[in-house]
Chain A
Amino acid sequence: MGYTPELKELIKRVEATRPKRLEMARKGENFPALTLEERAVVLEKFHPDYQKEGRRPVKTGPDKGLVLPEEVAMLLESRSMLRPEHVKLDKVDFDTDVLVIGAGGAGNSAALLAADAGCKVIMVTKLRHGDANTMMAEGGIQAAVHECDSPFYHYMDTIGGGHFTNQPDLVATLSHDAPLSINWLEGLGMMFNKHPDGRLVSRHFGGSSRKRMNSAGDMTGAEIMRVLRDEARSRSDQISTIEFTPAVELLIDEEGKCGGAILYNMETREFFICRAKATIIATGGNGRLHIKGFACTNHYGATMDGVVLCYRAGVGTTCMWSTQYHPTGVSYPEQNVGLLITEKVRGLGAHVLNVEGEQFCFPLEPRDVESAEIIKEALEVGKAVLTPTGRYGVWLDSPMIDMLHGEGTVRRELPAKFIQFERHGIDISKEPMLVYPTLHYQNGGIAIDGDCRTVIPGLYSAGECTGGVHGENRLMGNSLQDVITFGRRAGIVAAQYVNSGVEVKKLTMDHVVKYEKELAEAGVENPVVAPILLPDYSTDEVASRRLLQVQGMLEAE
């Protein structure tokens, strides 16, 4: 285990250039940063968000004409798993007040608050209860809780970080509700990091004016998820959670209100009609679309289902063109691929190097610029390392850290990363790491207002599947806050709507029929079937031997 002999050979080149680079670093000299003009060029040419290649206008639906990544556009131009004419909508299998789709942080918060307001809730989820991006968040959750901070500064930091592209009412809601969310989680028994007197331990983060990052160890998201899941389980009298049963189509009643969804039991391959007075979409992100082939940090079910369902029903998106890439995701060893290497590593002085062991960029450019430069080194210059598992990587020279700051710094400052690599036989205080940009967060998504309403009555949405809260750039710690704040809001507002006396009329799938007609008219041939639910990672070789493929070829002949 550890690095292969071939990689060890390459590491020698890194070691050969290191003394000189260390000398530079000690003198405070750095590889020159790009000018604003140069930045624009490299972004334009290599940042996946800026590249023309791989993006195109979407041909149908509410955002027709909007330029989006191919993978996203293709899913928006998709057809349903179901043939509407064969679906019997008068036979209702589940009837409920509120249907929550997705059981991550946003879904559970919504379910709990709707239950608090007396509603009967069904929460369906694609994998197990809690298999979600929420579980994976390590860093923390923002909220202006200390005296020197206020919702005003939370608002300012968030909208500035998002280059002022955020939707103002959403930012206002976020910063207003954030302390309420933390208070709620504390009351549910979440183990926040606290000082001995009970004061929350809060830290700075990229783009903060105040220390606002609250956490629970280095598994804040997991702690939130565990607590919410346990609470939802404790309330099984009001909340029924159905696992491995994604929603695959929305149902709209003849008055145009959302009236529930069609559910699909992935294990038995049965479909069910779920009628609900209000429906909340909380299906999370889209990392598993692997836009442009990038690895990702997301969980297995992050396939943008909610956006697809809503889009087909006529709900547009906000900021959908924007995706967050993290410049340094692990590219070797294979078992860590896509995992984040925090910015702190570069902050502590580690250089980013090509296969020759040479520097090719300033290591602390903004995230998007840094990502673009690494991609350029791989694709254009052709000087990336090719890993034994066939991935691009550039060296992140972590051993410099101990050499610059003294023995033991790596272990002390980066304990989790140290262990993660040590497990696979790599001592990152002595050997450099291989990294490459990785897909991290779906910045845009379903268009909502400050109360999580979509344009369809009875249809609400919250969490990573929505857009606008973060604009084109999300600050660390704001998405966990997003899912709690808007999840809770969605639950409250949906319950108010239900309690005001809603009657679901005859259910229809007319929107699907209409949308598929639009696809045909727009000349979209062989649209993909979506939501795709899960990515398929079988090799081409295996896929080509699968019966359906073989059959397809025979039929074609």
Chain B
Amino acid sequence: MSQSESTPKKTQIATGDRAILPKGAKTIPIFIMGKQYEVPETLTIMKAMEFAGFQFLRGAGCRGGICGACPTVYRMPNDYKIHFGLACQTVVEADMYLAQIPFYPANRAVYKLEDIEARPDMINALYPELFRCVACNNCTKACPMNVDVLGYISALKQGDIARAAEISFDCIQCGMCASRCMGEIPQYHIAQLARRMYGKYIMPKAEHLQKRVDEINAGKYDGLLEKLQKMSHEELEKLYKEREREPDLAPNGTWVPQDAQYL
């Protein structure tokens, strides 16, 4: 307890992700599922909870705002609003009342992408509840990634798969939208289907890639790679130094190197 007093010269350094309460730092009260804890200000909800002694099993994944494992709802005193945030990205505020919602059940249709086509009516058939949307916008308000959820749901009702795919691209599938939906719609599952339809069937195919794949499958590079594996360090280093560098400003697919023997 009095470690810092007995060794006054040594400053305590936070290591890894463990939070500490440095000298002079203030603590604030937060209410985790209604129960009060004192935590250092400036921490994220996630680290504040860990500081308070919670060890996550659910509710923590990437710890970097991209996996959707840690959605959290909270309210502030004298404010009727429900706030939403990712526990790993949201900073604690004094007197916030919070609860994590690490999982929210949502209906996912069964499909095999290769058996379907990119047609709006295919989506409608798999997710007829799409048409239960009343445009209440609760989903958009709940989204911690600021995705225009109503926007992509509307785009799908309008049959615009490409637009829905683009609008929903930042979705991290945390499920907050579905938890708030009056129409009981699993928005993020529908968006996933739309994006895959778009990626597979609507976006133009990379023809040059198919050509390269055919070359590889025909064994075009097998000999070359075989040789490289047997090459001495010196030979490799020499070849490495001799590499030409594709000019920064050359548009993809335009530059022709002088040395074509290894292409």
Hey, which bits of chain A sit against chain B, CB under 8 A?
1, 4, 127-128, 130-131, 135-136, 144-153, 155-157, 159-160, 164, 168-169, 171-172, 175-176, 179-180, 182-183, 186-192, 194-202, 204, 208-211, 217, 219, 222-223, 226-227, 230-231, 233-235, 244, 266-267, 288, 290, 293-297, 299-301, 333-335, 337-339, 386, 388-392, 423-424, 534-539, 541-542
Report the separation of the CA atoms of residues A150 and B262 in the bound assembly, to the nearest whole angstrom.
7
Contact of A182 among B42, B209, B229 (CB under 8 A): B209
17 A-B pairs with CB atoms under 8 Å apart are: A128-B67, A130-B67, A147-B208, A147-B256, A189-B201, A190-B199, A198-B204, A199-B206, A226-B173, A299-B62, A334-B43, A335-B90, A338-B63, A339-B64, A392-B13, A424-B91, A535-B17
Other than A135-B67, A144-B212, give 12 A-B pairs with Cβ distance below 8 A.
A149-B246, A152-B225, A152-B262, A182-B209, A191-B203, A200-B208, A201-B252, A219-B170, A234-B113, A244-B58, A339-B64, A537-B55
Q: Is B218 engaged at the interface, CB distance under 8 Å to the other chain?
A: no
A135 touches B62 (CB 8 A): yes
Which of B130-138, B178-186, B237-245 binds A?
B237-245
Q: How many angstroms between the C-alpha atoms of A114 and B239 in the bound complex?
A: 38
Q: How far is the CA of A297 from the CA of B263 in the complex (A)?
A: 36
Contact between A135 and B66, CB atoms less than 8 A apart: yes
* Interfacial residues, chain B to chain A (CB-CB below 8 A): 1, 11-22, 25, 40, 42-44, 47, 50-58, 60-64, 66-67, 69, 88-91, 108, 110-113, 165, 169-170, 172-173, 192-193, 195-201, 203-210, 212-213, 216-217, 221-222, 224-226, 228-230, 233, 236-237, 239-240, 243-246, 248, 250, 252-253, 255-257, 262-263
B89 touches which of A187, A338, A423 (Cβ 8 Å): A423
How many whole Å from A309's CB to the nearest CB in chain B? 20
In whole Å, how far is A542's beta carbon from the nearest beta carbon of chain B?
4
In the complex, the answer to whether B246 meets A386 with C-beta atoms within 8 Å is no
Check A150 against B20 for contact (C-beta < 8 Å). no
Q: Shortest beta-carbon distance, B119 to chain A, in Å?
A: 14
Across-interface contacts of B12 in A (CB, < 8 A):
390
A389 B43 Cβ-Cβ under 8 A: yes
Q: Using Cβ atoms and an 8 Å threshold, which residues of chain A touch B19?
A: 334, 389, 537, 539
- B170 closest partner in A (C-beta): A219
Q: Known contacts A156-B239, A202-B252, A389-B22: does B225 contact A172 (CB below 8 Å)?
A: yes
- Complex CA distance for A208 and B247, rounded to whole angstroms: 11
Closest 10 pairs (CB-CB, A-B): A189-B196, A198-B204, A293-B15, A290-B16, A131-B61, A189-B200, A189-B199, A152-B262, A160-B240, A542-B53
Q: Known interface pairs A131-B67, A227-B196. Does A145 touch B22 (Cβ–Cβ under 8 Å)? A: no
Closest approach, in angstroms, between the C-beta of B262 and any C-beta of chain A? 4
**Once the chains are docked, how many angstroms separate the CA of A536 from the CA of B17?**
9
Q: Do the beta carbons of A230 and B57 come within 8 Å of each other?
A: no
Q: Which residue from chain B places its CB closest to the CB of A292 in the assembled complex?
A: B15
Q: How far is the CB of B230 from chain A (nearest CB, A)?
A: 8
B20–A389 CB distance below 8 A: yes
B172 touches A222 (CB 8 A): yes
Interface centre among B67, B69, B250 (most CB of A within 10 A): B67
Partner of B210 from the list A183, A204, A537, A538 (CB cut-off 8 Å) is A183
Partner of B91, one of A1, A171, A244, A288: A1
Known: A300-B61, A334-B44. A390 touches B13 (CB 8 A): yes
Whether the Cβ atoms of B244 and A209 lie closer than 8 Å is yes
Q: Which residues on B sit within 8 Å (CB–CB) of A300?
A: 56, 60-63
How far apart sit A235 and B54, CA to CA, in the bound complex (Å)?
Answer: 36
Cα of A37 to Cα of B35 in the assembled complex, Å: 58
**Contacts A127-B61, A179-B209, A534-B55; is A337 near B17 (CB within 8 Å)?**
yes
Residues of B within 8 Å of A146, CB to CB, are 208, 252-253
Whether B173 contacts A195 by the Cβ 8 Å rule is no
B246 near A204 with CB under 8 A, answer: yes
CA–CA, A266 to B60, complex, Å? 14
Which of the listed residues A201, A296, A300 has the most CB atoms from chain B within 10 Å of its own CB? A300
B141, chain A: closest CB distance, angstroms: 18
Q: Which residues of A contact B61 (CB under 8 A)?
A: 127-128, 131, 135, 299-301
Could you tell me the distance between the alpha carbons of A135 and B256 in the complex, rounded to whole angstroms? 35
A200–B203 Cα distance when bound, in Å, is 11
Q: Are A200 and B206 in contact (CB-based, < 8 A)? A: yes
Q: Which residues of B have CB within 8 Å of A151? A: 216, 221, 224-225
* A-chain residues with CB within 8 Å of residue B226 when the two chains form the complex: 172
Task: Looking at the assembled complex, report how far the CB atom of A290 sits from the nearest CB atom of chain B, in whole angstroms.
Answer: 3
Contacts of B52 in A (CB 8 A): 542
Known: A151-B225, A266-B57. A537 touches B253 (CB 8 A): no
With A186-B199, A211-B252, A222-B66 as contacts: A152 and B228 at CB distance below 8 Å: yes
- What's the Cα separation between A149 and B63 when bound, in Å? 37
- Residue of B at shortest CB range from A391? B14
Residues of A within 8 A of B15 (CB): 290, 293-294
Q: What's the minimum C-beta distance from A103 to chain B, rounded to whole angstroms?
A: 12
Task: Check A227–B199 contact: CB distance below 8 A.
Answer: yes
List B contacts of A233 (CB < 8 A): 108
B225–A175 touching, CB < 8 Å: yes
Contacts of B224 in A (CB 8 A): 150-152
> Which residues of the partner chain B approach A1 to less than 8 Å between Cβ atoms?
91
**Complex: A267 Cα to B245 Cα, angstroms:** 53
A182 to B111, CA, bound (A): 23
Of A180, A194, A217, the contact of B169 (CB 8 Å cutoff): A217
Task: Give chain A residues whose Cβ lies under 8 Å from the Cβ of B169.
Answer: 191, 217, 219, 223
Q: B residues within 8 A CB of A335? A: 43-44, 47, 88-91
Question: A130 CA to B67 CA in the complex, in Å?
Answer: 8
Once the chains bind, are A390 and B14 in contact (CB under 8 Å)?
A: yes
In the complex, A227→B113 CA distance in Å?
11
Q: B47 — which chain A residues lie within 8 A by C-beta?
A: 334-335, 537
In the complex, chain A residues whose CB is within 8 Å of the CB of B13: 293, 386, 390-392
- The answer, among B165, B205, B206, for a CB contact under 8 Å with A191, is B165
Cβ–Cβ contact B221 & A338, under 8 A: no
**A333→B44 CA distance, assembly (Å):** 9
When A164-B236, A168-B229 are in contact, do A136 and B64 touch as well, CB less than 8 Å?
Answer: yes
Point out the residues of chain B lying under 8 angstroms from A267, CB to CB.
Answer: 57
Contacts of B208 in A (CB 8 A): 145-147, 199-200
Name which residue of chain B comes closest to A234, CB basis: B112
Instruction: Determine how close the nearest CB of chain B comes to the CB of A305; give it in whole angstroms.
Output: 15
Contact pick for A186, options B172, B209, B248, CB 8 Å: B209
Please indicate the chain A residues that have their CB under 8 angstroms from the CB of B205 in the complex: 186, 198
B110, B209, B239, B250, most chain A CB atoms within 10 A = B209
Once the chains bind, are A200 and B66 in contact (CB under 8 Å)? no
Closest chain A CB from B40 CB (angstroms):
7
Say whether A186 contacts B206, CB under 8 Å. yes
